[in-house]
Amino acid sequence: MKKFVAHKITDLEAVAIEIITRSSFPTIILVEGDLGAGKTALAKKIGEQLGLSANQIKSPTFSMLNSYKISGNLTFHHLDLYRQKQLDEILLQTLAEIIEDRHALVYIEWPQLLTEWLQQFPLLQKFKLVIEMKSKNERHLTLTEI
């Protein structure tokens, strides 16, 4: 388990680097935190570290899934399941295909619905990241490999 404290957006760079360097691919990151905790902000930092530009990465609030091709075969998949009230077969099928790809980094906001479903992939590398807002300018991020 590793803990980080972020006072500003740029402090998320260290978290992004930690996640990327520990990823063996395929890797899934389950990101928990209240509305506005900074889940999408960290996704942008991960994308930036992978060579994307920050404004290329849009929150998948409505699209549910945004996928970005990175040079060197890697694909960064960013999901936001906030609007998903129950598991959708098409989504599960898509996710199953995504994690069959050895070069996938999958970042999921509001992942709670998937916890049980993911148990059928015991060999998949998974991280849980919890973001807690302590005050407007202090966020605690706890990264655990699960």
Ligand X SMILES: Nc1ncnc2c1ncn2[C@@H]1O[C@H](COP(=O)(O)OP(=O)(O)OP(=O)(O)O)[C@@H](O)[C@H]1O
From 33, 47, 60, 111, residue interacting with ligand X (rule: CB under 6 A): 33
Query: Toward ligand X, which CB reaches closer, 12 or 28?
Result: 12
From 6, 37, 39, 99, residue interacting with Mg ion (rule: CB under 5 A): 39
Q: Does 9 bind ligand X (CB under 6 A)?
A: yes
Sites for ligand X among residues 91-120 (CB under 6 A) = 109
Q: CB of 73 within 8 A of CB of 56? A: no
Q: Measure Cα distances from 123 to 24, 35, 116, 120, 135 in Å.
A: 11, 31, 15, 9, 37
Number of H helices, E strands in the chain: 3, 7
Here the tokens at position 44 are: 């942008």
Judged by beta carbon distances under 5 to 8 A according to partner kind, the member of Mg ion, ligand X, none in contact with residue 90 is: none
Sites for ligand X among residues 126-145 (CB under 6 A) = 139
Q: Coil, strand or helix: which one is 95?
A: helix
> How many other CB atoms are found less than 10 A from the CB of residue 79?
26
From 40, 50, 79, 98, residue interacting with Mg ion (rule: CB under 5 A): 40
# chain residues binding ligand X, by CB under 6 A: 15
Here the tokens at position 15 are: 């978290």
Per CB under 6 A, residues contacting ligand X are 6, 8-9, 11-12, 33, 35-41, 109, 139
Per CB under 5 A, residues contacting Mg ion are 39-40, 59, 109
